[in-house]
Amino acid sequence: MKYPAIQNFINGRFSDIASPRSLTVISPSDGKELAIMPCSTAADLDAAVAAAQAAFPAWSQTPIKERVQVFFRYKYLLERDLQELASLVSEENGKTLGEAVAEIEKCIELTEFATSLPQLVTGEVLEVSKGVECRTAHVPLGVVASIVPFNFPSMVPNWTIPNAIALGNCMIMKPSEKVPLSLARIATLLQEAGLPDGVLNIVNGDSEIVNAICDHPGITAVSFVGSTRVARLVYQRATQNLKRCLALGGAKNHLLVLPDAKPDMTAQNVVASMSGCAGQRCMAASAMVAVGEVDHIVDKICAEAGKVVPGRNLGAVISRAAKEKIEQYITEAEQQGARVLIDGRNTVVEGKENGTYVGPTVIDHVKPDMAVAREEIFGPVISILRAATVDEALAIENANPYGNAAAVYTQNGSLARYIVEKANAGMIGVNIGVPVPREPFSFGGWNESKFGVGDITGKSSIEFWTRLKKTTVKWNPEAGVNWMS
């Protein structure tokens, strides 16, 4: 093993995980075994919750302007260690170094937002009748938990850590068991930035620890990011236990390409969206609806896909199982009559024969009832469906049960506006294939891409990570009392 066994981070210290079960962290890039990952048990979670509960009174009573000083320093440390963190992310996740650098840059932006929170949570005050004032304050929830997926080992944890903690909560973080390495490094950076012991605790493990989080009486709120199947389970279990929960799930994002779309820009965008991070993004384009005659753009998409080279500007998919599943989708579509224009199956990268790579794949003439058109593939694969009209294309897009993102490529403003209005998804792009709202706008899909109210980042996250205290004060107690006073 390249690294020592994964440890938990509880009360400011790394500690061994005593567990009868363990997994192995494998680098998807070359198949190298990186570390043993023992799976924590409920007893480890108890220790983490106890540490967070002990830290909560002092941390929540620290003024927010003081709390965010930690994140000003953390932002600087992310900048200082950007390359080192990016290397770790690339190694454990399989994405390219450039993509990992972009991921850490996004962590920096998320942290910048958290440092602005004092400006956004000032509350309200009003003299509601003579001498009587009502005021509101955003109060932290207590010990909260964040459960994250494999595809952004650092960015998704940074969707929740800076905001939840700056707002006064103490946190239990559950990394993906596939990519636990960079989060441990992040914990040390936060400690160096001055975060008090116990405010952030990391408990490694798999579904057993997720279930324990949902059941733990000491945890008041749970955020989850991962597949829809698990998001649904977590949302049901956490809310059954009367916890606040926001659970973001999977996606099947459609791009609508109209005949007047700019061919070169559209082709570059479609390919970047479907193949970036090897298609393992919840915002990746997975289906393209070609409206009318756009064969000239499809030709350019194929040419662009040819420039995407596994092992060079295309990373690996997370595991052998993922590679096999993606290739199975392609084979099944082909057997059902779709045409595989660019085929990424059986990709082997020289010198990295044990890596799990799938080349860029373009499948044309896909029918809406095929699995490649309906299900999340999570690989560098785009399925092209054909529609005669914009309304037909919208009907295809809106029939999918997810609702994370959708995008349209056109130069026609009123048609773009029509599609923005009618598309049944939470994040829409116009001439942009990965329409991630940047801070302070919030991130979150609709339908089966998200269970719960509000979004996970930006201003919307304030509502999730705090509760409102409403105080009414009578400054002239000698004055008469009526129902309005």
Q: Which residues, 446 to 485, sit near ligand NAD by CB under 6 A? A: 449
| Token representation of residue 340 | 């595989």
CB 251 within 8 A of CB 376: yes
* Cα separation, 201 vs 40, whole angstroms: 13
Determine the interface stretch with ligand NAD among 186-194, 243-251, 301-309, 354-362 (rule: CB under 6 A): 243-251
140 or 175: CB nearest ligand NAD = 175
Q: Is 39 a catalytic residue?
A: no
Tokens 């000698």, residue located: 478
71 or 402: CB nearest ligand NAD = 402
Q: Which residues, 89 to 128, sit near ligand NAD by CB under 6 A? A: none
How many residues sit in the footprint of ligand NAD (CB under 6 A)? 28
* Cα separation, 246 vs 480, whole angstroms: 45
149 or 315: CB nearest ligand NAD = 149
- Contact mark string toward ligand NAD, 368..397, x via CB under 6 A: --------x-x-------------------
CB 147 within 8 A of CB 234: yes
Determine the interface stretch with ligand NAD among 34-42, 249-257, 308-316, 384-392 (rule: CB under 6 A): 249-257
Radius of gyration of the chain (CA): 24
Determine the interface stretch with ligand NAD among 101-109, 146-154, 349-357, 359-367 (rule: CB under 6 A): 146-154
**CA distances to 101, 250, 457 from 82, in Å:** 7, 28, 22
Q: Which residues, 316 to 355, sit near ligand NAD by CB under 6 A? A: none
Q: Which residues, 168 to 227, sit near ligand NAD by CB under 6 A? A: 174, 176-177, 206-207, 210-211, 225-227
Q: Taking CB positions, which residue lies at the least distance from ligand NAD? A: 226
Residue type, 199: V
CB 451 within 8 A of CB 232: yes
Q: What is the dihedral of CA 329, 330, 332, 333, to 10 degrees?
A: 110
Strand partners, 381: 361
Q: Which of 85, 195, 219, 230 binds ligand NAD (CB under 6 A)?
A: 230
Q: Which of 117, 193, 248, 317 binds ligand NAD (CB under 6 A)?
A: 248
Determine the interface stretch with ligand NAD among 58-66, 247-255, 420-428, 471-479 (rule: CB under 6 A): 247-255
Helix 155-166 and helix 97-115, axial crossing angle in degrees, nearest 10: 10
Does residue 6 interact with ligand NAD by CB under 6 A? Answer: no
- Sign of the Cα torsion 294, 298, 299, 301 reads positive
Does residue 151 interact with ligand NAD by CB under 6 A? Answer: yes
Give the Cβ contact number of residue 483 at 10 Å: 5
| Nearest distance, CB of residue 452 and ligand NAD, angstroms | 12
Contacts of 216 (CB under 8 A, 6+ apart): 45, 46, 49, 145
253 or 266: CB nearest ligand NAD = 253
- Contact mark string toward ligand NAD, 56..85, x via CB under 6 A: ------------------------------
DSSP symbol at 225: E
| Nearest distance, CB of residue 326 and ligand NAD, angstroms | 13
**CA distances to 147, 309, 398, 403 from 329, in Å:** 28, 21, 22, 21
* Cα separation, 110 vs 154, whole angstroms: 11
| Nearest distance, CB of residue 234 and ligand NAD, angstroms | 6
Q: Which of 251, 257, 285, 288 binds ligand NAD (CB under 6 A)?
A: 251
382 or 387: CB nearest ligand NAD = 382
| Nearest distance, CB of residue 223 and ligand NAD, angstroms | 11
81 or 455: CB nearest ligand NAD = 455
* Cα separation, 142 vs 94, whole angstroms: 35
22 or 227: CB nearest ligand NAD = 227
| Nearest distance, CB of residue 414 and ligand NAD, angstroms | 30
Quick one: which H or E segment has residue 146?
Answer: strand 143-147
Determine the interface stretch with ligand NAD among 86-94, 119-127, 135-143, 145-153 (rule: CB under 6 A): 145-153
CB 373 within 8 A of CB 383: yes
Does residue 266 interact with ligand NAD by CB under 6 A? Answer: no
- Sheet of 13-15, strands arranged across: 13-15, 8-10, 200-202, 170-174, 143-147, 221-225, 244-248, 450-451
| Token representation of residue 206 | 């798999």
Determine the interface stretch with ligand NAD among 43-51, 94-102, 148-156, 387-395 (rule: CB under 6 A): 148-156
| Nearest distance, CB of residue 296 and ligand NAD, angstroms | 31
Residues designated catalytic: 282
What residues make contact with ligand NAD under the rule CB under 6 A? Answer: 147-151, 156, 174, 176-177, 206-207, 210-211, 225-227, 230, 233, 248-251, 282, 376, 378, 404, 445, 449
